[in-house]
Amino acid sequence: MKIFIARQKMEGFTPGRLYIDGDLECFTLEDQFRESEGWLIDSWKIHGKTAIPRGTYQVVITYSNRFKRQLPLLLDVPGFEGIRIHTGNTTADTEGCILVGADDGNWQDAWLGSSKIAFNKLFPKIQMALGRGEKVWLTVE
């Protein structure tokens, strides 16, 4: 399975659209890109403050001690561990993970709606792909 997130840079947050095998699945929300002197520096992340670096990451499902349930986990994110895909409505609901929602409100408001609906649609697709022995890859651009 190939998951792709197309992101847009905004001040203070990073909205995006998540696609599975080319089809729009849901919307995403992350913390802001890390910048220095006007240049995008996203080769590393700061815990709870910045979006994950661009790249391709393998996705597995593991138990989250924080959420007390099984959740998708991105492997080998440079400089960081524990990056998950989970529910939430604003960047206050993430410490650097990817939030998903079925309603993005608009690109300007840093808010996602219907997060549980989006997650409950996405998560079984990842589970089924892994259950079939497929590797799941997430590319962030």
Report pLDDT digits (tens) over 109-121: 889 999 999 999 9
pLDDT of residue 125 exceeding 80, the answer is yes
Angstrom CA distances, 80 to 35, 48, 107, 110, stand at 17, 11, 27, 23
Report pLDDT digits (tens) over 35-64: 543 444 444 555 556 788 889 999 999 999
Q: Cα separation of 55 and 1, whole Å?
A: 16
pLDDT average, residue stretch 2-24: 93
**Chain centre distance of CA 98:** 3
Cβ(116)–Cβ(62) below 8 Å: no
pLDDT of residue 96 exceeding 90, the answer is no
Higher pLDDT, 8 or 122: 122
The mean-pLDDT minimum among 8-12, 85-89, 98-102, 133-137 falls in: 8-12
pLDDT average, residue stretch 99-117: 88
Q: What is the pLDDT of residue 24?
A: 97
